[in-house]
Amino acid sequence: MAGKKVLIVYAHQEPRSFNGSLKDVAVAELSRQGCTVTVSDLYAMDFEPRATRKDITGGKMVPEYTVLYMNCALSSPEFFSYGVEAYEACKKRSLTSDIIAEQKKVQEADLVMFQFPLYWFSVPAVLKGWMDRVLCQGFAFDLPGFYDDGLLKGKLAILSLTTGGTADMYWKTGASGDFRYFLWPLQHGTLHFCGFKVLAPHISFAPEFASEEERRGMVASWAQRLKTIWKEEPIPCWPPWYFGQ
């Protein structure tokens, strides 16, 4: 929809991969609609996944004494709690620049789209690190200020992911259980916690086992869905949608 802003957080190593194609077709279709599309290509950016005291900056710039300097910028230099320090640094605007840059992109976006291959029923570590570091207290949530009151309320999020396993493994009676089960920590525990409304996930099952024609069909169906993405209603937030209770 013209005027909307979309951030695509993309986690694949290979531009010519199937994930890369899904990202490319999303950029093309959303741009065609007049949206402003920004891509965070995490591997290309060599995005840092580890949450460490390096994320807390501030004080005088004395590069040769970086470690000492950073310790001095901490609220509790003797005892490092990442969550506490990141919250303080967020309020003081002294988080490291790569985190602030990503937060700015999220802040401006109407829709945040995550494009990734499923690694161990979850996101690849580089994307987990994006979540760990970017979605900090004070920016994405506060206490209180989570779930329906999360600080990113008013925004939409969607997961577009590929799997190694086939669709028949991801049913209630399949070896890997219903695919909704593994979505819970991501869609509820992370996105809903931050206040996002979540659109139905787009899962491309087992592209590695599909023919070239089937893969083209999967990319085309993603492009097709995106044509009417702005008319979609969010999915329910609560356990029955995930676990059928």
CB-CB contact of 235 with 191 (8 Å): no
Report the alpha-carbon distance of residue 97 to residue 100 in Å, rounded.
5
Query: Which tokens hold the place of 126?
Result: 């580089």
Q: How far is the CB of 8 from a copy of itself (least distance, A)?
A: 19
Give exposure, 207-228, as e/b (b: 16+ Cβ within 10 Å): beebeeeeeeebbeebbebbee
Tell me if 71 contacts a copy of itself by CB under 8 A. Answer: no
Pattern of binders to a copy of itself over 7-46, x per CB under 8 A?
------xx-xx-------------------------x--x
Q: Which residues contact 127 (CB under 8 A, 6 or more apart)?
A: 9, 11, 42, 114, 116
Tell me if 73 contacts a copy of itself by CB under 8 A. Answer: no
DSSP per position, 171-193: STTSTT--HHHHHIIIIIIIIIT
Kindly report the length of the chain: 245
| Sole binder of a copy of itself in the list 32, 91, 172, 227 (CB under 8 A) | 172
For a copy of itself, the closer CB: 37 or 96: 96
| Sole binder of a copy of itself in the list 124, 138, 150, 195 (CB under 8 A) | 124
Report the alpha-carbon distance of residue 27 to residue 16 in Å, rounded.
15
Q: How far is the CB of 150 from a copy of itself (least distance, A)?
A: 12
Tell me if 189 contacts a copy of itself by CB under 8 A. Answer: yes
- Tokens 């077709």 correspond to what residue? 25
Q: How far is the CB of 99 from a copy of itself (least distance, A)?
A: 13
Enumerate binding residues for a copy of itself (CB under 8 A). Answer: 13-14, 16-17, 43, 46-47, 49-53, 79-83, 119-126, 128-129, 131-133, 135, 147, 164, 172, 175-178, 181-182, 184-186, 188-190, 193, 208, 239, 242-245
